[in-house]
């Protein structure tokens, strides 16, 4: 790789979750003080909570693309997670991201390796192919759930924004099913974030989930 990836992030939140957001940001800044991050506060007026989250997630991606025009990779976070100590280092070393073909002034439309999507959090989705030596497995798209920490190439984020309403469901369903149109869905192993708390951020009837594979200290070599 000629240079390090430019990585930026977006995080969705909503009124009434100041404590969760504060704790999540404090943990992120403890480990990654220089990671550029946009906080997307829900200001939608839809009565249905799920629709507000769908719209807030779309706004987060669109704003992230606009706010960080040099970002090769965009991270998408929810507001109630804890982070691996070496998050950015591990992403820089991760093979699904290392091979992204990035646009340059002389090559504004790079080749086929431009749409990459994965998750840094595995709540026990179904594996299709495991590549343990490269610290990932490929998931079945229909088994994906949980949007605690997604990672995507810039062009994949653009694909999501352009086609958001073509897929029914909340942001985890929309992004994973749209991503499957372009290529594999990668899951980092071990998980680099952990879901914390006891209840769902937005839906009162949703069951809380976490991951058994989170590794606070994992550092890729």
Position 53 pLDDT exceeds 50: yes
Residues 6+ apart with CB under 8 A from 146: 119, 121, 123, 125, 172, 195, 209
The CA distances from residue 156 to 73, 112, 146, 195, in Å, are 9, 12, 18, 24
Looking at residue 49, its pLDDT comes to 84
Binning pLDDT at 50, 70 and 90, where does residue 112 land? very low
Looking at residue 105, its pLDDT comes to 59
Contact yes or no for 120/188 (Cβ under 8 A): yes
Query: Among 13-17, 89-93, 150-154, 212-216, which stretch is predicted with the lowest mean pLDDT?
Result: 13-17
In tens, the pLDDT along 2-39 reads 578 999 999 999 999 999 999 999 999 999 999 999 99
Mean pLDDT of the chain: 91
What residues does each domain of the chain span?
Answer: 7-195
3-state secondary structure of 17: coil
Looking at residue 108, its pLDDT comes to 54
In tens, the pLDDT along 34-45 reads 999 999 999 887
**The domain over range 7-195 is classified in CATH as 3.40.50.1400:** no
HSE-CB at 32 with a 13 A cutoff on CA atoms is: 20
Residues 6+ apart with CB under 8 A from 117: 150, 151, 152, 153, 156, 175, 176, 179, 182, 183, 185, 186
In tens, the pLDDT along 189-212 reads 999 999 997 665 445 556 689 999
Residues 6+ apart with CB under 8 A from 95: 134, 135, 136
Q: What is the pTM of this model?
A: 0.91
CA nearest neighbour of 147 among 18, 19, 67, 57: 57
């Amino acid at each position: 790789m000629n240079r390090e990836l430019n990585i930026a992030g977006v995080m969705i939140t909503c009124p009434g979750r100041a404590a969760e957001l504060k704790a999540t940001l404090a943990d992120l800044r403890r480990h990654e003080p220089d990671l550029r991050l946009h906080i997307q506060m829900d200001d939608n007026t839809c009565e249905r909570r799920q629709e507000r989250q769908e719209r807030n997630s779309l706004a987060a991606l669109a704003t992230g693309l606009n706010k960080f025009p040099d970002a090769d990779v965009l991270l998408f976070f929810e507001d109630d997670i804890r982070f691996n100590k070496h998050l950015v280092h591990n992403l820089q070393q991760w093979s699904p991201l290392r091979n992204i073909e990035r646009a340059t002034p002389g090559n504004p439309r790079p080749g086929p390796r431009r749409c990459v999507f994965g998750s840094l959090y595995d709540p026990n989705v179904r594996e299709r192919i495991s590549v343990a030596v490269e610290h990932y497995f490929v998931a079945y798209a229909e088994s994906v759930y949980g949007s605690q920490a997604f990672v995507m190439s810039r062009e994949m984020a653009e694909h999501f924004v352009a086609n958001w309403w073509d897929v029914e469901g909340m942001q985890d369903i929309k992004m994973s099913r749209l991503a499957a149109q372009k290529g594999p869905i990668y899951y980092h192993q071990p998980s680099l974030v952990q879901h914390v708390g006891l209840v769902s951020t937005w839906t009162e009837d949703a069951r809380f989930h976490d991951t058994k594979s989170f590794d606070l200290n994992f550092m890729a070599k």
